[in-house]
Amino acid sequence: MAETEIELPQLYLVTPPEFELSQFPAQLARVLDAHETACLRLSLATTDEDRIMRAADACREVAHARDVPIVIAEHALMVERLGLDGVHLGDGARRVRKTRDELGAEAIIGAFCGASRHDGMNAGEAGADYVSFGPAGATGLGDGTYAEADLFDWWSQMIEVPVVAEGALTEDTIRTLTPFTDFFAIGEEIWRSDDPSAKLGRLLGAMTT
C-alpha cells in the first residue's frame, strides 16, 4: 500500500522591519521566485505613513505579480487604500471582530496570540482566518515565554482555524513543529543572511529531514 502523503506546512514570508526600497523588492522577487509562498506580510518598524505606503506599493507589485497575497502588520486602515489583501493583528483577539466588520469577508485577517491558547480560541471565534503563536523557539527577548510544541499539537487536533508558527525558528524547531502547524512565518531568520533564499531553503528543507 502506498503511504499517505503528509501535507507539509506552507511558507508565510515576513519582510524585515527595515529595508532599502531601492534594493529590497528585487531581493524579495528572487526569494518568491525560488520558494512557493502562501502569503507575504509587510511588517515594518516605522510608523512613517509615507515610508509605509511606498514600501507597500513596491512589495504589493512584486507579490501580486506572482499571485501571492500580501497583508500588512497592524495598519488595518491602510489595507483598502493600498490595495492589500488583509492585515496581521499583533494583539490577539482584541480587534479581530471590529476589523472583520470594517474590511469585510474577503480580507485576510490574522491574529498573533503569543503562547495563549485562550487568546487563540477567542481570535478564531471572532473571525480570524489564522492564528499565529510564537516565538516558537527559545529567545532572549521578552520574558522568555515561548509557544511550545504541545500548544501546536493540541491546536492541530482540536481547532480547525489554521495555525502559524513564528519567531526564532531554527531547523530543529521547524523539524519538530512540521506535523502540527499549517504555516511557518519566516522573516528575520533569513534577511540578515548573505543569501536569504539559500538560508530559507535550508530552513524549509528541515520539514522533510
Q: Where are the domains of the chain?
A: 10-204
For residue 138, what pLDDT is reported?
Answer: 78
For residue 68, what pLDDT is reported?
Answer: 98
The predicted model scores a pTM of: 0.96
Q: Tell me: the pLDDT tens digits for 108-149?
A: 999 999 999 999 999 999 999 999 999 998 776 667 789 999
DSSP code of residue 197: H
- Look up residue 152 and give its three cell numbers: 501546536
Distance of CA 130 to CAs 6, 159, 191, Å? 20, 11, 24
Euclidean distance between CA atoms 77 and 28, whole angstroms: 24
Query: 164 with 197: CB under 8 angstroms?
Result: no
**Dihedral sign (CA 111, 114, 119, 125):** positive
For residue 5, what pLDDT is reported?
Answer: 58
For residue 149, what pLDDT is reported?
Answer: 97
- Look up residue 169 and give its three cell numbers: 525558528
Look-up of cell digits 474577503: 106
For residue 4, what pLDDT is reported?
Answer: 47
Q: In tens digits, what is the pLDDT along the chain, a chain of 209 residues? A: 444 457 899 999 999 999 999 999 999 999 999 999 999 999 999 999 999 999 999 999 999 999 999 999 999 999 999 999 999 999 999 999 999 999 999 999 999 999 999 999 999 999 999 999 999 987 766 677 899 999 999 999 999 999 999 999 999 999 999 999 999 999 999 999 999 999 999 999 999 99
State which amino acid sits at residue 142: G
State the architecture of 10-204 in CATH terms: Alpha-Beta Barrel (3.20)
For residue 2, what pLDDT is reported?
Answer: 44
For residue 139, what pLDDT is reported?
Answer: 75
For residue 145, what pLDDT is reported?
Answer: 86
Query: 126 with 100: CB under 8 angstroms?
Result: yes
